[in-house]
Structures are given as C-alpha cells and as structure tokens.
Amino acid sequence: MAAMFLMLMFVSIAEAQVFDIGKYGGKPNSNIAQALTSAFTEACASTTPSKVLVPKGTYNLSPVKISGPCKAPIEIQVHGIIIAQTENDPATTWVSFQYIDHLTLSGGGVFDGQGHKVWGKCGNNNYCKHLPINLAFNFITNGLVQDVTSKDSKQFHVNVLGSKELKFLRFKISAPEHSINTDGIHIGRSKGISVIDSRIETGDDCVSIGDDSQQITVTGVTCGPGHGISVGSLGKYQNEGPVIGITVKNCTISNTMNGVRIKTWPASFPGTASNMHFEDIIMNNVGNPVLIDQVYCPWNQCNAKLPSRVKISNVSFKNIRGTSSTPVAVKLACSSGIPCQGVEIANIDLTYTGKDAPKALSQCSHVQPKVSGRMNPPACNSPVGAN
C-alpha cells in the first residue's frame, strides 16, 4: 500500500505545474522569503499537482512558515543552497512546513543554518535552546523528504510533530561533533514515521524519539559523530503519550557517545514504552553500545533517589556487533519501582577497545532478560533488583 502511494505520488508530481521562485522575484544572493512563500501560496491553491522550484544557486532566507492545507499534492524542489541569517532571531524554527497533505521536499539542495557562527555563544547552562531549529514538519500527512541536506543547524536539525506517514529517504544531516543540542531528527507525537538510507553526522542524538510516538522505523541509517539513536528521554512531563512500536534495523553507528538506548528520568511522571526492537546493528568505537537508562539525570537536574515510573516492556536487542569505547558494552539499568519486562538480548558481539580492562562487560539492574545466541560480553541475567 505504501509503495503504491509513493508511485502514484511521483506520477502526479511528475505532471505538476511548476512555480519557479524566479518568477516571484527570487534571485541568487538575495533573501527569497517573500518569493518562496508567494510561489507556495499560488501552488498550494492549485487544484492539480504542483511544484515549487528553487533553481541552482545560493540564496539567503529569513524564517518562513510554509503552511497548508493545499488543494492537491505539492512538491518543493530545492536545487540550490539556502543560507540562514546569522543573527539571533526570535523564531523557534527557521523553515517550518505545516498542515500539508501529500508534501514532497526534494531536489538535492542544502539548508545551511549557519550554526557554526553561534554555537560558541551559547554558554554552559542554556544549551542553545533559544536558537532556531533548521526544519520543522508539523502536522504533515503522507509526506516524503528525500535527497536534501540539513547543514549546521543552530539547534535541532529536524523536528517532527503531530505528523503521520512521513518518510525521510536519503536524507543527510551534517554538523560537527562539537555542535550543541543539534539532534538530527527528533520525532514526537507522530505515527508512521520512517528514516531510511540516510546519513546523520551531528553533535547530539542522530535520531531521538519522544513521547506519543508510534510505529517509527529507522533503517539503513549511518550515524556518527553524535550521541547515537535514542528513545526518550521520557517521563519528564505529565500526561506524556505512550511510545509504541519502534524498529531500528540495519544501521551503522560510529564514534558516538552512545549506541542504541532507551532513557527515562528518575522521579518521573507515569508513562509506557513498549514494542521496541533494535536489530542488525554495527557499532564502531561506540560508548555504551546497548543501553537502557532509567536513571537518566543529566546535569543533576532531578531527584535520582526516586525511581522512574515509565514502564518499559517488550524490548529486544539482536545481532549487534562491533567495538565499544567504554568497558560496559551492555547496560540494562531499569527502574527499581517498575522493573523492565520482556527484555530479550541475542547474538551480541562487542569488543572493548580500551586498555584499562581486558574485556567488555554487561551490567543489569531490575531486569531479568531472556538471553540466546552468542553473547560477548557474557550476558547478565541476574534476579530483579541485582546489580
């Protein structure tokens, strides 16, 4: 069904009417905010499929909101390099796509957030939270983002909120390891989101999955540098929706702070996270390659003495191999208040590359995992409550 939808979508867009920003005053080396929004407004009003075209060239762009609903499928095809303004801006997002059904963003272009000019001004305590996200996809349905690049975002590269059936294909994210709070793709309150055959290099999580996310698939992703691929953190806020159905498969993670992890806050509000599966993953020099962390408490901004109240269940880590840059290659630190249930680990082969310990280790607390296949390091399947 999904393949048929994409085929029909491509056929319709191939026959689309073209709205070139040049016809609306958009010229290289100028601010194309007005030209882009004008072209989109006319294209969005078309009752037949339409295409907004940004030709090759280098353009400047102040913050814009690309808003629907539209009357027919619409493609925004970016061939050029689009550069954000470098001064601080009160906007929370640089380019926002919202309330659009059947949106395609394509063309091989680059969205350059110019983050390298502001990262060093953030200070140690605010984590650049006032700076804009490169791209937001809010309440998008049946969307496709392919063959475009997000470069040097000032904060998150991509934020997905309230969207359904949105696919990222051959999407590239490029930022250095020292970039602050630059999550690659953050997904929250969305369903049916896929990240496929993409490359993510950044300073925070390559993919982060927040609350009320369901049926999320991450496959064929190359991650690193960064902090790995994460579910959470969960439980910090009241009334968070459940996380259900996460698949991370056929990925390569290199030179990252973490590998694949699930993280929840101690002293948390109640919540659930279930049906999460991490399979066929290569780790290259990765810290904490396999991690459940229910005592996640960065910067000591929580009460670590109280247990997390997020229930984690039906989790598997299978066919994970490579090298760990930390001695504890597999760590399952579950909640003392609500121990993890239905955790399975199978065919793990992780070698510690450091010199201060001869072999990699496993650690478990408040979980009794089901173990099968090859296990290097040896699995911990200690009783609930043991360390």
Element (H, E) at 173: strand 172-174
Report the C-alpha gap between 195 and 145 in whole angstroms: 9
**Tokens 């239905």 -> residue:** 342
Q: Could you write out the DSSP letters of every residue in 189-246?
A: S-EEEEEES-EEE-SS-SEEE-TT-EEEEEES-EE-SBS-EEEEEESSSTTPPPEEEE
Q: Which of 118, 116, 65, 111 is nearest to 92 (CA)?
A: 65
Residue 131 makes CB contacts below 8 A (sequence gap 6+) with 88, 115, 118, 122, 154, 155
Q: Which of 102, 157, 186, 227 is catalytic?
A: 227
Peptide bond before residue 313 is cis, with ω within 30 degrees of 0: no
Q: Are 231 and 275 a contacting pair, CB within 8 Å?
A: no
- Coil, helix or strand at residue 12: helix
The number of helix segments (H) and strand segments (E) in the chain equals: 2, 30
Spell out a b/e string for 270-304, using b for 16 or more CB atoms within 10 Å of the CB, else e.
Answer: ebbbbbbebbebbbbebbbbbbbbbbbbeeeebee
Q: 284, 322 in Cβ contact below 8 A?
A: yes
User: What is the C-alpha separation between 239 and 275, in angstroms, rounded?
Assistant: 20
Helix (H) / strand (E) containing 95: strand 93-101
Cα 234 to Cα 262: distance, rounded to the nearest angstrom? 9
Among candidate residues 348, 345, 344, the one with its CA nearest the CA of residue 322: 348
Is 227 considered catalytic here? yes
Contact 203, 143 (CB under 8 A): no
Name the helix (H) or strand (E) containing 11.
helix 2-14
> Would you call 24 helix, strand, or coil by DSSP?
helix
Catalytic annotation, residues: 227
